[in-house]
């Protein structure tokens, strides 16, 4: 028996997610928007019976057992933690800070019987599922290098909002880079221990964002990660993100090992072993028959569709609406993975400021919010 769904958000992801959920048999009972007007408009468009701008109205809705949260990162933690606290299963996007992520981890640990996963859809993309299988089977031998390139048009909204603000979770590193960081951890089975990065904001104002308003979120990012073992045993990863590229969207992930390489271009997977004359097509994804959405690149769209199918399989395995099976969603990133990703993001930001390699140290306890005040008081005493 599939759970009823409540969706938070009125952006492009929510617009795509609701039809995909309905196609898999889920009933979407409630929609939340930042304003009544936004929520009403999209609810009518998508045929959702209830809409609101009050978060509790969705969380307390008697027919909602699964909450999908696709809202600005600065708001994610509050909704996700509250949803788990009242017994709802949660699929959500990234939080704004590592502290927020840690609070989400704490809530998920307190309610282990509830589903709590991050919505990084790239893990579900068939090309990356197959790539991981090939890596486990030893297609490339000992993994040595990962190289990722993502190029596309601006990520900024039409008006000034959270996408323009680095502190609110805007920018290429946080929006797209976080998904890549998580994907590389999924593919390699390892985590970064040191990072080095460079962030730039080339477009600080445009025709719609001008005057006293300035964009602080990055539109170009380059970073390196050392993953897995130390010294020569580390996997070297290089990621380049550029969102000053009008036209076609480029999404390429390549892994190179001692005996060959694998490369995912868009939604297709290619491989080449050392000594062979050319690449072989390992996965042709040209059979995609789902919707095409201009605002969402095909790898994320195809991955979102696969994730929704996995959610259906997970909940179908149980008769109770809130019960779920781990198997179909085992590849989904947990809230712990979300904390790791956010920690790496913040380490890359520190590196961009310092110009040095930075260590990735995942917090094990929430920092004291009065820590800086206590230090200042102590200095005054001395």
Token pair recorded at residue 255:
């892994």
162 touches 73 (CB < 8 A): yes
Question: What DSSP designation does 288 have?
Answer: -
Handedness of CA 181, 294, 171, 76 (dihedral sign): negative
- Would strands 89-92 and 220-228 be described as parallel, antiparallel, or unpaired? unpaired
111 touches 242 (CB < 8 A): no
pLDDT for res 100: 95
Write out the residue limits of the CATH 3.30.360.10 domain(s) in the chain. Answer: 123-284
Token pair recorded at residue 65:
């057992």
- Is residue 305 classed exposed, middle or buried when 0-12, 13-18 and 19+ CB atoms within 10 A define those classes? buried
Write out the residue limits of the CATH 3.40.50.720 domain(s) in the chain. Answer: 4-121+298-335
pLDDT for res 208: 72
The Cα-based distances of 337 to 30, 163, 262, 283, 333 in angstroms read 28, 23, 24, 27, 6
Token pair recorded at residue 280:
């072989």
263 touches 254 (CB < 8 A): yes
Token pair recorded at residue 207:
């025709």
Please tell me the distance from the alpha carbon of residue 37 to that of residue 16, in angstroms, as a whole number.
19
Q: Residue 69: what are its φ and ψ, rounded to 5°?
A: -115, 110
pLDDT for res 375: 53
Please tell me the distance from the alpha carbon of residue 282 to that of residue 263, in angstroms, as a whole number.
10
Cα 56 from chain centre: 24
pLDDT for res 204: 80
Domain boundaries 4-121+298-335, CATH class: alpha beta
pLDDT for res 373: 53
For residue 223, which of 278, 255, 184, 256 has the smallest C-alpha distance? 184
Please tell me the distance from the alpha carbon of residue 179 to that of residue 299, in angstroms, as a whole number.
12
pLDDT for res 186: 97
Please tell me the distance from the alpha carbon of residue 180 to that of residue 227, in angstroms, as a whole number.
13
2 touches 25 (CB < 8 A): yes
Please tell me the distance from the alpha carbon of residue 318 to that of residue 326, in angstroms, as a whole number.
11
Q: What angle do CA 157, 162, 165 make, to 5 degrees?
A: 105
Q: 315 by DSSP, 3-state: which?
A: helix
256 touches 247 (CB < 8 A): no
pLDDT for res 290: 65
Q: 314 by DSSP, 3-state: which?
A: helix
Per-residue pLDDT tens listing for the chain (382 residues): 899 999 999 988 999 999 999 999 999 999 999 999 999 999 999 999 999 999 999 999 999 999 999 999 999 999 999 999 999 999 999 999 999 999 999 999 999 999 999 999 999 999 999 999 999 999 999 999 999 999 999 888 777 788 888 888 889 999 999 999 999 999 999 999 999 999 999 888 777 777 777 888 899 999 999 998 776 678 999 999 999 988 889 999 999 999 999 999 999 999 999 989 899 999 988 766 666 667 788 999 999 999 999 999 999 977 777 789 999 999 999 999 999 999 999 999 999 999 999 999 999 888 776 655 555 555 555 5
- Would strands 260-265 and 250-257 be described as parallel, antiparallel, or unpaired? antiparallel
Question: What DSSP designation does 61 have?
Answer: -
262 touches 140 (CB < 8 A): yes
pLDDT for res 206: 75
Residue with tokens 């991955």: 303
Tell me which fold the domain 123-284 belongs to. Dihydrodipicolinate Reductase; domain 2 (3.30.360)
Token pair recorded at residue 282:
């390992």
């Amino acid at each position: 028996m599939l759970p009823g769904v409540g969706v938070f958000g009125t952006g492009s992801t929510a617009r795509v997610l609701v039809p995909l959920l309905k196609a898999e048999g889920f009933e979407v009972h409630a929609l939340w928007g930042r304003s009544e007007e936004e929520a009403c408009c999209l609810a009518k468009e998508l045929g959702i019976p209830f809409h609101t701008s009050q978060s509790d109205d969705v969380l307390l809705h008697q027919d909602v057992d699964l909450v999908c949260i696709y809202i600005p990162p600065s708001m994610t933690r509050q909704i996700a933690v509250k949803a788990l606290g009242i017994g709802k299963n949660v699929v959500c996007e990234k939080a704004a800070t590592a502290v927020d992520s840690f609070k989400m981890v704490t809530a998920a640990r307190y309610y282990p019987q509830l589903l709590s996963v991050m919505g990084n859809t790239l893990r579900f993309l068939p090309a990356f599922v197959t790539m991981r299988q090939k890596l486990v089977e030893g297609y490339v031998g000992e993994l040595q290098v990962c190289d990722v390139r993502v190029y596309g048009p601006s990520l900024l909204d039409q008006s000034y909002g959270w996408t323009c603000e680095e502190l609110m979770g805007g920018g290429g590193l946080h929006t797209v880079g976080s998904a890549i960081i998580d994907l590389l951890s999924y593919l390699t089975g390892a985590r970064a221990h040191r990072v080095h990065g460079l962030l730039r904001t080339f477009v600080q104002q445009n025709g719609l964002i001008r005057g006293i308003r300035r964009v602080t979120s990055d539109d170009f990012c380059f970073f390196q990660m050392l993953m897995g073992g130390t010294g020569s045993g580390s996997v070297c990863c290089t990621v380049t993100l550029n969102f000053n590229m009008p036209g076609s969207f480029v999404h390429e992930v390549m892994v190179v090992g001692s005996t060959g390489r694998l490369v995912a271009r868009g939604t297709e997977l290619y491989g080449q072993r050392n000594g062979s004359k050319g690449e072989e097509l390992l996965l042709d994804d040209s059979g995609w028959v789902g919707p095409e959405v201009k605002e969402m690149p095909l790898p994320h769209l195809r991955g979102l569709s696969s994730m929704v199918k996995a959610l259906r399989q997970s909940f179908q395995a149980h008769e109770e609406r809130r019960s779920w099976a781990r198997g179909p969603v085992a590849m989904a990133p947990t809230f712990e993975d979300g904390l790791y990703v956010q920690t790496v993001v913040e380490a890359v930001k520190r590196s961009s400021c310092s110009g040095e390699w930075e260590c990735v140290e995942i917090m094990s306890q929430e920092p004291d919010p009065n820590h800086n005040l206590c230090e200042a008081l102590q200095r005054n005493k001395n």
